[in-house]
Amino acid sequence: MTHVVTLPGDGIGPEIMVPAVQLLQHFVPDVTVEEHVFGGASIDAHGTALTDDTLAACRQADAVLLAAVGGPKWDTTNPDDPRPEQGLLGLRKALGLFANLRPVRPLPALYDSSPLKRERIEGTDLLVVRELTGGIYFGDKTRTDTDASDLCHYTVDEVDRIARVAFEAARRRRGSVASVDKANVMETSRQWRQVVHAVHAADYADVLLTDVLVDNAAMQLVSRPADFDVIVTENLFGDILSDEAAMITGSIGMLPSASLGNGAGPGLFEPVHGSAPDIAGTGAANPLAMFLSLAMLLRHGLSLDAEALALEAAVDRALDDGLRTRDLGGNAGTEEATAAVLAHL
């Protein structure tokens, strides 16, 4: 029996989770689905973004499917107030999910929806591998009336393991890794570069490795994105660059992600976009990134590659047939988009 925990979260999260569960049940008829509150909804109900019960349920699942968290209701600059994002960071850390995979592949049907010219994005098919549980997000933090600090901290082992994920992915793709750092300024980046090169020399000499400073990487992502195969980088840089890369597809509403560990526990699968509270409840949310995240769950979480390919193909064909949600310049809402994908299964 397959067991999946769902975390609808906030904003449009519950609206895009419903059709995602329908699709999950289509592909895995014997699945049991257990829903838990998470993020801002959990703060409202329990005073914390991630309860012990929710974490325990996630630990016991075969996979975890998350929709979206956050919203202005819970925005605060008080370090003592709970924030929805704390639930996400805490869940990744507790489950040992150190590798975030974000594929970026603009579809020909959406080339003209991208803010970049067609000739710049044609042929783009890249994968951002982001380290998830180290760096400045998890380092010691201080704040007084006159100053504040955030510690960026990485161990050699943390860099070693994310580098191996990237090199293994490159071997299954086109054999090229761009390691992004800020080694001209930051000591953590100098260590990052040294460790990545050591892993490469020891076990992955067949993969092409290139060092790219993060500011240069940001420019190259919009000037020649098709030149990238696999991008590997630390937590903060990966957070920023993957959102930038999402716009190559025409909308951040098209980008899925998978957060994986060492295989001993469940993975976490979620769209990259936020909770979009401005359109919550209107039926206008684009569910396609959620569907593509479900495809990653099928592939990486449940080892159902054929089913994942079928779902991805159904999304592609729906777009080829003219499906356009509002963020893609059309008028289709969540229900229409879901129906269009279902029609191609």
Q: Determine which helix (DSSP H) or strand (DSSP E) holds 283, and give its type and residue range.
A: none
Q: Classify residue 29 by burial, with Cβ atoms within 10 Å: 0-12, 13-18, 19+.
A: exposed
| Count of CB atoms situated within 10 Å of the CB of 280 | 18
327 catalytic, yes or no? no
Answer yes or no: are the C-beta atoms of 67 and 290 closer than 8 Å. yes
Q: Which of 10, 181, 229, 239 is catalytic?
A: 239
Distances (CA, A) of 270 to 15, 247, 261: 14, 17, 15
Q: Is 182 labeled as catalytic in the residue annotation?
A: yes
**Residue 268 bridge partners (DSSP):** 64, 259
Q: For residue 253, give the nearest of 68, 94, 125, 117 by alpha carbon.
A: 68
Active site residue 137: yes
Report the C-alpha gap between 111 and 310 in whole angstroms.
22
Catalytic residue among 211, 227, 243, 316: 243
Minimal CA–CA distance to 124: which of 272, 240, 231, 269?
Answer: 231
> Pick the catalytic residue: 44, 81, 157, 215?
215
Whether 321 is a known active-site residue: answer no
The one catalytic residue in 182, 204, 229, 327 is 182
Q: Which of 10, 62, 137, 229 is catalytic?
A: 137
Measured from the Cβ of residue 17, the count of other Cβ atoms closer than 10 Å reads: 23
Give me the active site residues, please: 137, 182, 215, 239, 243
